[in-house]
Structure 1
Amino acid sequence: MKKYLVLQTDFGLGDGAVSAMYGVAHTVSQEIVVEDLTHDIPPYDIWSASYRLLQTVPYWPEGTVFVSVVDPGVGSERRSVAVKTTSGHYVITPDNGSLTHLELNLGIEEVRQIDEVKSRLPHSEDSHTFHGRDVYAYNGARLASGEVTFEELGSVVETTSLTVLETVPIEVKEDAVTGSIDILDIRFGSLWTNIPLEVVKEAGIHPNDTVQVTIYNKQVKIYQNSLTFVRSFAEVEIGQALVYVNSLVNIGVAVNQASFSQMYDIGIGKDWIIQIKKVGTV
């Protein structure tokens, strides 16, 4: 069975940082397979890092080790942790909120705190600004290769002590469902919400219904229109807005062959609230 180490950072590929992480991993073990989740997380954007883990982790084989480094607090008192999810995957990351979506949606079984002084790349003790290479890639490779067990990575800490970002609870009132815009389908500009398909079904909203979509930013109404809830983009004309089910089986909002987020200047996170309400049936 292959041993996978999957890397996510906000480093980009414009310099040698990611390659250095690869090098450290292969120095630990030439038997592990190192892959990329993404290195295009916006700089310091912990929220996006958290969501991209949720988007990706469940689709890798059990036992895969993920290293996620979006670390604006590198060198500070924030902890370095390794976690085991209820699905049997491992994530090594700063404890700064990057595990929020995994904890809420997938579940975290156990947390270990990594000693950044003792458990690091040999001869790197004077480096305090590249824990992605010296602590995370190093320990991720050790875990993926079997050089150490998860239990040997550090001492147990309470799951409830993990840093979590503020999220928006889903609310259902009669035939309206309210949630948040959690992330963008970056290349195509679609909005991905935190509202599961099963919730809108329970509210009596189904494909072929006409729904009123209202979007707020910090309680200011940014957008409101009646859209068709469709199964695929091909069901509407090019340039027409629509509601659909995304690849995580949550509700999405898009424009066929255009960017909804750019057209209406829509962002992501707890300040971006979306309400979907049934107003008719096609």
Structure 2
Amino acid sequence: MRKIAWMMIGVLLISHLLHSQNKVVVFQSDFGLKDGAVSAMKGVATGVSDKLKLYDLTHEIPAYNIWEAAYRLEQTVPYWPAGTVFVSVVDPGVGTSRKSVVLKTNSGHYIVTPDNGTLTLVAASLGVAELREIDEAVNRRKGSGKSYTFHGRDVYAYTAARLASGVITFEQVGAVLPKKVVTLPYQHATLEDNKLKGNIAILDVQYGNIWTNIDADLVSKLSLKYGDVLHADFFHNDQQIASVDAPYSETFGAVPEGKPLAYFNSLMQLSFALNMGNIAESYHIGSGSGWSVVVYRKGK
């Protein structure tokens, strides 16, 4: 019995170490890098502990675009070690009644953010282990109580640094909340009557490719072969914007320059592109929670 008890303690200790903070903070915002806002957040974090490692996810989220913040977290968080603390500040409601929270995912990552929809996707994909509201009476930069418009610096960066450095435990962030975050509505990926439906989650901004949330496992149920033509109808708020026929391809070079193709992106999600062109611009297609797509194999 004693041996079993020690084994259980060992398992719990390993689990704690895997999910404990690792002194890494990753920042995301819609601030851009034209002024000192990002540097101010990092300065606050360094003031808490100069042992922290500070990184950027992106600061080029379009202004006020909560959906894109949600997507970039889902795209990036799983590739960082458990224990990493993320700060995501896309906060058009700064100073209002929206809650400031820290989410601990089932994977052991921590996300410090306003609960305004930013957690929509990562909560669904990584799960909610626990959600806590930041107690600003304790976890707020000293002397910042009269500032209402820069919670990224005064609350989020400060709390994240305290958590990542071990100054506070997760339990000391603040009160436990129900395991339910504010979510943005969007088309979940489905397959019905041999038609794939999904959300246009994001555009590959450098090239204009269209990335959907339809994953490879769902697509595999159509038993596609390379060269099969997929027909895609693109919608914004249920209004059809464009249609395209695109061969299912392994590489961009499988089609002539300027021609459309369907392929899997680096996240193994169904995507559409023009070889050496910009399909989103050419077909006037955007991305976000209001954009959706219906896809089926042509001729079947």
Pairwise same-fold verdict (TM > 0.5): yes
Aligned to 2:293: 274
Q: Which amino acid aligns with 1:90?
A: Y
> What are the Cα deviations for residues 207-255 of structure 1, in whole angstroms up to 9, with x where unaligned?
3321111112233322222211111212222211111101111111111
> Matched residue of 2:234: which SS?
strand
Aligned to 2:81: 61
Q: Which moved more, 1:103-112 or 1:167-176?
A: 167-176
Q: Deviation at 1:15? A: 0.7
Q: Which amino acid aligns with 1:133?
A: R
> What are the Cα deviations for residues 133-184 of structure 1, in whole angstroms up to 9, with x where unaligned?
0000001111111111111111110112x21111212232222111110111
Aligned to 1:14: 34
Aligned to 1:41: 61
Q: Which amino acid aligns with 2:251?
A: S
RMSD of aligned C-alpha atoms?
1.5
Tell me if the contact between 2:209 and 2:274 (Cα under 8 Å) persists in the aligned partners: yes
Q: Deviation at 1:86? A: 1.1
Structure 1 residue 125 and structure 2 residue 145: aligned? yes
Structure 1 residue 147 and structure 2 residue 171: aligned? no
Distance 1:93 1:270 in 2: 19
Tell me if the contact between 1:185 and 1:192 (Cα under 8 Å) persists in the aligned partners: yes
Tell me if the contact between 1:181 and 1:273 (Cα under 8 Å) persists in the aligned partners: yes
> What are the Cα deviations for residues 67-126 of structure 1, in whole angstroms up to 9, with x where unaligned?
000001111111000011111111000010000010122212110100234320011111
> Matched residue of 1:115: which SS?
coil
Tell me if the contact between 1:177 and 1:203 (Cα under 8 Å) persists in the aligned partners: no
- Give the TM-score of the pair, scaled to structure 1: 0.95
> What are the Cα deviations for residues 24-59 of structure 1, in whole angstroms up to 9, with x where unaligned?
011111111100000010111000000000000000
Q: Deviation at 1:206? A: 4.2
Give identity over the alignment, percent.
Answer: 46
Q: Deviation at 1:280? A: 5.3
Tell me if the contact between 2:245 and 2:260 (Cα under 8 Å) persists in the aligned partners: no
Residue 70 of structure 1, aligned match among 90, 113, 136: 90
Question: Greater CA radius of gyration, 1 or 2?
Answer: 2
Q: Deviation at 1:197? A: 1.0
Tell me if the contact between 1:20 and 1:133 (Cα under 8 Å) persists in the aligned partners: yes
Aligned to 1:174: 193
**Structure with the largest fraction of strand:** 1
Distance 2:160 2:131 in 1: 14
Aligned to 1:163: 182
